Amino acid sequence: MSSIPGAINASDYQLDEEQGTASPQIQPHIIISSRYSLRTRNNALAPVNCLPTEILVHIFSSLEEIDEPHHECPSDTSGCPIGWIRVTHVCRQWRCIAIDHPSLWTNILCDLGPKWTKAFLQRSQMASILFSYTMPNTPKYGTRMDVASEVSNHMHHMQELRISIRCGQDAMQLARSLATSAPVLEKVWLRSYRRHPAPALDTSMSGNEPLPLLPTNLFNRSAPRLRFLSIFSFRVPWSSLDFSSLVHLRIDILSRANTAGMEQTTAFGSELRGFGSVLSALSRMPVLEDLGLYYTLPHLSSDVTPHTKFSPHVTLSRLRKLCLVDDIVQCVVILNHITMPSTTRKAIKCTLDAVHGHGSEVILPWLTSQIGMSSFLHRSEIECWRTGFKIDIAISNGACTNAEQTPSRSLSPNQEDNNIHFSVVDLTTDGTYSVFQTICQALPLGHLDTLYIHVSPGWRNSPDWLMVLERCKILRCLSTGTLDSTFWTALTSPHDIRIDGRSLTYPLFPSFTSLTLLYWNFKRDAEQLGMLLELLRHRRGIAPLQKVDLTQCLVDSQIVEQIKSEVPDVIWDEGASFGSFRNSRLN
């Protein structure tokens, strides 16, 4: 097909041609319509056109899933990747069948431009639709879609809504459009962003534009089927969250700096200052299973302590996963007011508040209450860097039954375990170790059987490791993805410990028999092999290692043979390549 004038978008031309509304400047192309009658007669004789309508609709539905239209269209129609929509251009019968079945047009394609969006919305009729829109910095098709109006006009039959929009007037108009009842709405993703996003390492959204504010009557408080709600960089009045069917809720403001000015908002200040509004909102979500709150909890006055009581107390009996990222006192207060199953996976990432004297000790009562007197900490993952650390622990109510389990890069969730992922960030270099030591002292490390540890090189001295981890006397399985000389020295340096009332000299982890090395490059650094062999020989007189697992390590058969001469069982991946190592390595 010949080229279309540049003023007309290729995908719009396809739509105009299909609807018979082509502009005068492309009228010469419609002359070929005189040939359609002959083609129609020939097509009627084709075997495929003898198929029942239901079969063709099923075929078109399958094609819709595997051949989606693409938003980047070239300048000529022959190469315009409109995907499965091409079936409407094959013959009149197929076009009529496709257009007359609303279920084929429910995935609204905003990226193809305003004309296609309106065509999809019209053809979907009253069927439940999936509406997805990502706002471009500049309009691709000459005019920008009035997405707020489209959302408001079609909210009554939206099943899923995905919006990514720039902060400012557009986002505010969108927010106002969300005050319409949504009787069939099930899933919602909302995200606002700035024209010039901050660098990856700077998550602050500070700027002249305030974060858009969602209406207090979100979805007119009528979304009986809403199960999934994920909100990024919108201010959310807690009173607006009145959806008893919610299973997944995530609200992410990206950083505490973005909430600093929220209390100044007249209509919003009372919402933020009232912790009770948060608890009231959560109490209206009895079937909640996944909850994530990222810098969204209200600021607390300086006289609030972790023991301050608010109302109501919330019970989330179905909660499976809880993620909190905030200042430590906000995290502790909300944790103290939620009753959840012991098997709930908890991820807590907090910053300390030295100005108000809220250090790591304020979370210790909650942490120890989660462990309990009869619990066993049998698996743990520790990651340390200069300004923070992360500790993942798996706690069970019975002794570990799989002592030979090798830890993976991440702890695998077990329905019988109480999995806690706790991290502290934005510490000073000098203060990181003392906070880390405080938290470790509260953990029952004496029961620890399996440990994965990753440490930034030169993080601490060897005696520091001995002081923090010397209680791990029955640890059997150790996994490490880094070569830190201080930690490695602690594995071989003797120190005094007491066993059965006797003072004995042993290195760190006197009972460990299984060592897993992750992403080590023995070919690049011969020193690593020397240190490993030294460790294996040193442990012979204490508790000889029985197994070394080289997971995604760069080694050759000669290196493996040297290791085998020191330990009975060596596991290694002969297919490990430099590419996979480079993409995955930790050190």
d(CA 278, CA 336) in angstroms, rounded, equals: 13
pLDDT digits (tens, 9 = 90+) for 402-450: 434 444 444 444 444 678 999 999 888 778 888 999 999 888 888 899 9
321 token code pair:
């996963």
**pLDDT value of residue 167:** 79
Averaged pLDDT of the chain = 79
Whether residue 117 is predicted with pLDDT greater than 90 in this model: the reply is: no
Packing angle of the helix pair 485-492, 462-469 (nearest 10 deg): 60
**pLDDT value of residue 465:** 84
pLDDT digits (tens, 9 = 90+) for 484-541: 778 888 888 777 655 556 665 677 888 889 999 998 888 888 888 888 998 898 888 7
C-alpha to C-alpha distances, 1 to 24, 166, 188, nearest whole angstrom: 17, 38, 41
How many percent of the chain have pLDDT more than 70?
74
**pLDDT value of residue 166:** 85
Which candidate, 280, 415, 384, 403, places its Cα nearest to that of 338? 280
**pLDDT value of residue 446:** 86
The answer to whether 569 touches 547, Cβ cutoff 8 Å, is yes
**pLDDT value of residue 112:** 76
Highest mean pLDDT among 12-21, 26-35, 332-341: 332-341
CB atoms under 10 Å from CB of 92, counted, come to 14
C-alpha to C-alpha distances, 29 to 77, 83, 263, 522, 575, nearest whole angstrom: 12, 22, 61, 67, 58
Considering Cα of 408, then 410, then 413, then 414, what sign does the dihedral take? positive
H-run or E-run covering 170: helix 169-177
**pLDDT value of residue 97:** 85
Please give the distance of CA 188 from its chain centroid, rounded to a whole number.
Answer: 15
The model's pTM: 0.80
Dihedrals φ, ψ of 448, to 5°?
A: -65, 130
H-run or E-run covering 231: strand 228-232
pLDDT digits (tens, 9 = 90+) for 466-476: 888 888 888 99
Higher pLDDT among residues 566 and 301, named by residue: 566
Query: Cα torsion at 114, 116, 122, 126 (round to 10°)?
Result: -100
* Burial 353-372, CB ≥16 within 10 A → b, else e: beeeebbbebbbebbeebbe
The answer to whether 448 touches 424, Cβ cutoff 8 Å, is no
Higher pLDDT among residues 219 and 9, named by residue: 219
C-alpha to C-alpha distances, 34 to 1, 29, 92, nearest whole angstrom: 16, 11, 14
Q: Measured at the alpha carbon of residue 356, what is the angle toward residues 353 and 362, in degrees to the nearest 5?
A: 65
Q: What integer is the mean pLDDT of 207-223?
A: 87
